Amino acid sequence: MNEAFIIATLAAAIRAGTPVVYATIGEIFAERAGVLNLGVEGMMLVGAVVGFMVGVNTGSATTGLLAAMIAGGLLSLIHAFLTVTLYVDQVVSGLALTIFGTGLSAFLGQDYVGVSGPQFAALKIPVLSQIPFLGPILFEHDILVYLTFLLVPLAGYYIHRTRPGLHLRAVGENPATADVMGVSVARTRYFYVFVGGVLAGLAGANLSLAYTPGWIEGMTAGRGWIAVALVIFGFWQPGRAMLGAYLFGGVQSLQFSLQTIGVVIPVYFLGMLPYVFTVLVLIIATQEQVRRHIGAPAALGIPYKRGER
Amino acid sequence: MVSTSTLQTVSRENEIVVSMREVTKRFPGVVANDRVTFEARRGEIHALLGENGAGKSTLMNVLTGLYTPEEGEIAINGQPAQFRSPKDSIAAGIGMVHQHFKLVETQTVTENVILGLDAPRFRLDMSRAEADVAKLSEQYGLKIDPKAYIWQLSVGEQQRVEIIKALYRGAQILILDEPTAVLTPQETEELFITLRDMVAKGHTIIFISHKLDEVMSIADRVTVLRGGKVVATVNARDTNKAELAEMMVGRPVLFRLDRPALEPGEMVLRVEELHAENDKGLPALRGISFYVRAREIVGIAGVSGNGQSELAEALNGLRPITRGRIFLNGREITTLSAREIIDAGVAHVPEDRHTDGSVGDMNLTENIILKRYRHPPIARGPVIDWNQAREMSSELVSRFNVQAPGLDTRARLLSGGNLQKLILARELSAEPALIVAMHPTQGLDVGATEYVRQVLLEQRAAGAAVLLISEDLDEVMQLSDRILVIYEGEIMGEASGEKADRAQIGLMMAGQRQEVGY
Ligand SMILES: Nc1ncnc2c1ncn2[C@@H]1O[C@H](COP(=O)(O)OP(=O)(O)O)[C@@H](O)[C@H]1O
Ligand SMILES: [Mg+2]
């Protein structure tokens, strides 16, 4: 294995991991507020198709991206309304959202399969991309990749070092306390579920406008579920979650790059690994002891009603 | 000139800072506050006294804006106030320390103190906030480490955080809901010193309690609530315990229980070096040894969360024992299942009478036969003889004085006291050798409390061994022949029931081993 191979694989890992980074950070925000949203996959699909359609019709990838973010955000508000206002079970509502989003995206995208549209092109960053080894790995990507380099540390800072972040954590840990301290639990939960939806929509558009430009039904291929698992794997910390996403991206890119150098591991075996990993993480995380230990928000999944005993 | 200024000072001292008029708050099926009128003056400690369920917490939750009353008016410092949420009442200078603390366990003291404030706008300046917290804690003698996480703190320290939280927001009026329920006697004394200091600094304290001794020792005035209504507001120095008790309960109350001296019999329960873990997998019992003989009540005192629940569960086969042995009448029962332990003659009055003590959706008869449906005469071969069952439950329900519309009433509809009587009826009618009773009177009204204590004393006289686990030190001291104090899963020492010294027990509750007793 030579250096060029390693560089190409790592660079591809980052590109492949980036959509998952967005979706995971979004889900971290929602879960930190105490709302589990299993609709990530559905919101990503809708984001992918809406982003692509608007991109094709306006000729602008940026406009497509914004439309995808709005679409994801709107979809997430359904989940917020059902779970925060109507106290519907979060698992049921989230699953319903994914089923709905899958169907809706297939319906919307019927006439767009095989169409070509605008895309975010790679931008080499002048000086930085000249750094030996790291340069080509980190600084020869499209703008969406660079944005995650900012988003992830900012998200970590926001959660731990700011006033709204403190309120966010309090609402997810102990909503009754947040409530008596004057933090509106409902407003906080709506807002961060919405943030999660916006980022899931962005993640979808990242696929259809940058990573694999175009629309194919079900093109997220389970990345939404992987994001849900990565939130747990990342202990609800953006930085760790990003590493997890790159790990996923690495396995994905290995599938292709190993073939190019003639290694014969069945592609399907490698392709299966992220999903096996997802299942394992979810099984382990259902243990109550493990959950507390890795810092799961204590009120995750529990509707909050004032005065309820 | 001189006379007017004196007048002003006087009126300022007696100034009414909280005024609630004709406040009514309903919950589905109950009127928690029924046209309650309540006033507190600047610089006083005003006790709100009443039995469990009298409506004390509800009234204060209305005052802080957590609940919206159906009727009534509130004025603070003479200004009409309509609080939509606690945020509004905080702004008006009201702070409340809830009975169940409102703290985020995974955050630090300082993070909890600044939670919900509008400043700083965005970036948290933790070192500055920590310095402020340290200053307040110094000023009011509330010792606390501003950087500690809540989960690392004792209950007493957590209470200090709650008080600091209110002071940080500039609270002039501080409400404390049953603040001593979780404290050792020494911590209670410290709290009282802090409270007296606070009124001297001009704060007003509303002190919720159902304990008469406390109210008599700390309060300037007392408002008594019963069944959601105000009975009276009186000056503490113009009244006495008996009068307050009668107002609170609605009839004269006996303070003494008759506990005749008895010669203890054979050893019934022997526990050797018992170890068990809590739900988080951490050690909860660390080598506990003791015994209980027939015809004696052994009390386990301690602040909640020191292994009491785990001990009760381990003895009843509901929690795995990691090390150590348990003997009942000389026979080892360490590894027996819950069912085998029941059959061996152990009765259990569990901590939570709703989730562990009864099945809410089953009726009285079904609850009564829960532990004996497998044996004759209730069992006839593979089927249940419902006539027998009903006969038995009807007999027990009247013997234990359970008030219910009928035998087919669902258990969930019983009041706390009647449900506890039903559980006692089931547990005690089998004439157990050992009774493990955990918080048997928690949350009961005075009448039901007296009844339950009487029943435990009767069981003792009838030859049972009783292990009484309770956080109510008065109860433990009143009923027990011997008292053991538990702290962090270990026994700190033993004292005899009659000669027990509260201060010494208090030290043991705080973790100091004492060689005392007889
Ligand atoms: N959130 C609630 N929902 C329904 N009923 C309640 C609620 N809070 C209190 N109650 C009822 O209102 C009455 C008064 O309760 P509470 O104010 O807690 O009494 P106290 O604090 O004096 O023990 C009780 O009958 C109680 O069951
Ligand atoms: Mg109360």
Low-confidence winner among A76-80, B36-40, B210-214 (lowest mean pLDDT) = B210-214
Quick check: CB of B93 below 6 Å from ligand 1? no
Give percent of chain B with pLDDT exceeding 70.
96
Low-confidence winner among A36-40, A60-64, B445-449 (lowest mean pLDDT) = B445-449
Is A179 an 8 Å CB contact of chain B? Answer: yes
Amino acid at B290: F
Q: Is residue A255 part of a domain?
A: no
CB contact under 8 A, A292 and B121: no
Q: What pLDDT is stored for residue B500 in this prediction?
A: 82
Of the two residues A46 and A253, the one the predictor is more confident about is A46
Q: Both ends of chain B: CA-CA distance in Å?
A: 67
Is the pLDDT reported for residue A124 higher than 80? yes
In contact, A97 and A44? CB cutoff 8 Å: no
Closest chain B residue by Cα to residue A179: B86
Let me know if A288 is exposed, middle or buried by CB neighbors in 10 A (0-12, 13-18, 19+): exposed
Which of B104, B122, B280 faces A162 most closely, judged by CB atoms? B122
What sections of chain A are H helices per DSSP?
A: 3-32, 40-58, 61-80, 90-109, 134-138, 143-161, 163-173, 175-180, 185-206, 223-233, 238-260, 267-285, 288-293
Low-confidence winner among A104-108, B5-9, B20-24, B151-155 (lowest mean pLDDT) = B5-9
Q: Is residue A35 part of a domain?
A: yes
Mean pLDDT, residues A93-105 taken together: 97
B152 and B197 share one domain: yes
Mean pLDDT, residues A44-63 taken together: 97
The sign of the dihedral angle between the CA atoms of A239, A240, A245, A251 is positive
B5 band by pLDDT with thresholds 50, 70 and 90: very low
Quick check: CB of B32 below 6 Å from ligand 1? yes
CB contact under 8 A, B115 and A167: yes
**Distance between alpha carbon B360 and the CA centroid of its chain, in Å?**
22
CA distance A289 to chain B (A): 6
Preceding omega of B179 cis (within 30 degrees of 0): no
Structure tokens at A88: 């519907």
Site of tokens 């259809």: A208
Q: Is residue A307 part of a domain?
A: no
- Boundary residue ending a domain (B382, B397, B430): B430
Structure tokens at B293: 């003989």
Q: Is residue A211 part of a domain?
A: yes
B92 band by pLDDT with thresholds 50, 70 and 90: very high
Query: In this structure, how many other beta carbons lie within 10 angstroms of the beta carbon of residue A6?
Result: 13
Q: Is residue A276 part of a domain?
A: no
Is the pLDDT reported for residue B388 higher than 60? yes
Q: What pLDDT is stored for residue B53 in this prediction?
A: 82
B366 and B500 share one domain: no
CB contact under 8 A, A162 and B90: no
Is the pLDDT reported for residue B255 higher than 70? no
B325 band by pLDDT with thresholds 50, 70 and 90: very high
Q: Is residue B441 part of a domain?
A: yes
The sign of the dihedral angle between the CA atoms of B60, B63, B67, B68 is positive
Is the pLDDT reported for residue B21 higher than 70? yes
Amino acid at A207: L
Ligand 2 center from residue B53 Cα (angstroms): 7
The predicted complex's ipTM stands at 0.88
- What is the number of structural domains in chain B? 3
Q: Is residue A168 part of a domain?
A: yes
Closest chain B residue by Cα to residue A293: B280
Ligand 1 center from residue B33 Cα (angstroms): 9
Query: In this structure, how many other beta carbons lie within 10 angstroms of the beta carbon of residue A209?
Result: 31
**Number of Cα atoms under 13 Å in the Cβ half of residue A138:** 14
Q: Could you tell which of B23, B24, B26, B27 is best to mutate to test the pocket of ligand 1, judged by most ligand atoms within 8 Å of the CB?
A: B27
Q: What pLDDT is stored for residue B3 in this prediction?
A: 41
Low-confidence winner among A93-97, A266-270, B51-55, B423-427 (lowest mean pLDDT) = A266-270
CA angle B470, B473, B478 (to 5 degrees): 95
Quick check: CB of B62 below 6 Å from ligand 1? no
Q: Which of B99, B163, B102 is nearest to B133 (CA)?
A: B163
Which secondary structure element, helix H or strand E, spans residue B173, and what is its range?
strand B173-177
Give percent of chain A with pLDDT exceeding 70.
97
Mean pLDDT, residues B329-348 taken together: 94
In contact, B438 and B432? CB cutoff 8 Å: no
Q: What pLDDT is stored for residue B377 in this prediction?
A: 85
Is A289 an 8 Å CB contact of chain B? Answer: yes
In contact, B20 and B39? CB cutoff 8 Å: yes
Which of B90, B115, B279 faces A166 most closely, judged by CB atoms? B115
Mean pLDDT taken over chain B: 90
Identify the residue among A161, A174, A235 best suited for mutation to test binding to B, counting B beta carbons within 10 A and taking the highest: A174
Q: Is residue A129 part of a domain?
A: yes
Q: Could you tell which of B30, B98, B206 is best to mutate to test the pocket of ligand 1, judged by most ligand atoms within 8 Å of the CB?
A: B30
Query: In this structure, how many other beta carbons lie within 10 angstroms of the beta carbon of residue B105?
Result: 16
A110 band by pLDDT with thresholds 50, 70 and 90: very high
Question: What does the alpha-carbon distance between residue B277 and residue A5 come to, in Å, rounded to a whole number?
Answer: 52
CB contact under 8 A, A182 and B66: no
CB contact under 8 A, A183 and B114: no
Q: What pLDDT is stored for residue B6 in this prediction?
A: 41
**Distance between alpha carbon A218 and the CA centroid of its chain, in Å?**
16
Question: What does the alpha-carbon distance between residue A201 and residue A42 come to, in Å, rounded to a whole number?
Answer: 9
In contact, A204 and A220? CB cutoff 8 Å: yes
Ligand 2 center from residue B95 Cα (angstroms): 16
Is the pLDDT reported for residue B499 higher than 80? no
B88 and B191 share one domain: yes
CA distance A160 to chain B (A): 9
Q: Is residue B353 part of a domain?
A: no
Question: What does the alpha-carbon distance between residue B319 and residue B178 come to, in Å, rounded to a whole number?
Answer: 31
- Torsions phi, psi of B122, nearest 5? -130, -70
Question: What does the alpha-carbon distance between residue B75 and residue B40 come to, in Å, rounded to a whole number?
Answer: 11
Q: What pLDDT is stored for residue B9 in this prediction?
A: 44
**Number of Cα atoms under 13 Å in the Cβ half of residue A301:** 7
CA distance A162 to chain B (A): 4
Identify the residue among A180, A188, A300 best suited for mutation to test binding to B, counting B beta carbons within 10 A and taking the highest: A180
Ligand 1 atom with least separation from CA of B54: 22
Neighbour order of strands in the sheet with B283-293? B283-293, B267-277, B323-328, B331-332
**What three-state secondary structure class fits B507?**
helix
Which secondary structure element, helix H or strand E, spans residue B451, and what is its range?
helix B446-461
Q: What is the CATH number of the domain that holds B64?
A: 3.40.50.300
Mean pLDDT, residues B466-480 taken together: 92
CB contact under 8 A, A178 and B115: yes
B437 and B425 share one domain: no
- Nearby residues of A145 by Cβ (< 8 Å), 6 or more positions away: A14, A15, A18
In contact, B51 and B248? CB cutoff 8 Å: yes
CA distance A233 to chain B (A): 19
B298 is in which domain, residue-wise?
254-345+432-518
A148 is in which domain, residue-wise?
18-223
Mean pLDDT, residues A145-168 taken together: 97
In contact, A9 and A250? CB cutoff 8 Å: yes
Is the pLDDT reported for residue B446 higher than 90? no
Closest chain A residue by Cα to residue B62: A307
pLDDT tens digits, A167-189: 999 999 999 999 988 899 999 99
CA angle B415, B312, B478 (to 5 degrees): 70
B424 and B464 share one domain: no
Quick check: CB of B61 below 6 Å from ligand 1? no
- Boundary residue ending a domain (B430, B450, B468): B430
Q: What pLDDT is stored for residue A2 in this prediction?
A: 81
CB contact under 8 A, A298 and B106: yes
Let me know if B515 is exposed, middle or buried by CB neighbors in 10 A (0-12, 13-18, 19+): exposed
Ligand 1 center from residue B32 Cα (angstroms): 6
A69 band by pLDDT with thresholds 50, 70 and 90: very high
B391 and B512 share one domain: no
Is the pLDDT reported for residue A1 higher than 80? no
Which of A163, A298, A306 faces B124 most closely, judged by CB atoms? A163
B161 and B268 share one domain: no
What sections of B265-337 are H helices per DSSP?
A: 308-315
A42 band by pLDDT with thresholds 50, 70 and 90: very high
B278 and B320 share one domain: yes
In contact, B235 and B221? CB cutoff 8 Å: yes
B450 and B389 share one domain: no
Mean pLDDT, residues B437-444 taken together: 87
Q: What pLDDT is stored for residue B83 in this prediction?
A: 92
Query: In this structure, how many other beta carbons lie within 10 angstroms of the beta carbon of residue B158?
Result: 20
CB contact under 8 A, A292 and B280: yes
Is the pLDDT reported for residue B13 higher than 70? no
CA angle A113, A116, A120 (to 5 degrees): 120
- What is the number of structural domains in chain A? 1
Closest chain B residue by Cα to residue A171: B104
A288 band by pLDDT with thresholds 50, 70 and 90: low
What's B178's DSSP letter?
Answer: S
B57 and B159 share one domain: yes
Q: Is residue A277 part of a domain?
A: no
In contact, B295 and B433? CB cutoff 8 Å: no
B66 and B203 share one domain: yes
Is A309 an 8 Å CB contact of chain B? Answer: no
Amino acid at B64: T
B206 and B120 share one domain: yes
Q: Is residue B351 part of a domain?
A: no
Question: What does the alpha-carbon distance between residue B438 and residue B333 come to, in Å, rounded to a whole number?
Answer: 20
What's B471's DSSP letter?
Answer: S
CA distance B320 to chain A (A): 16
Q: What pLDDT is stored for residue A307 in this prediction?
A: 67
Rounded (10°) angle between helices A40-58 and A3-32 = 110
CA distance A167 to chain B (A): 7
Ligand 1 atom with least separation from CA of B33: 14
- Torsions phi, psi of A198, nearest 5? -60, -45
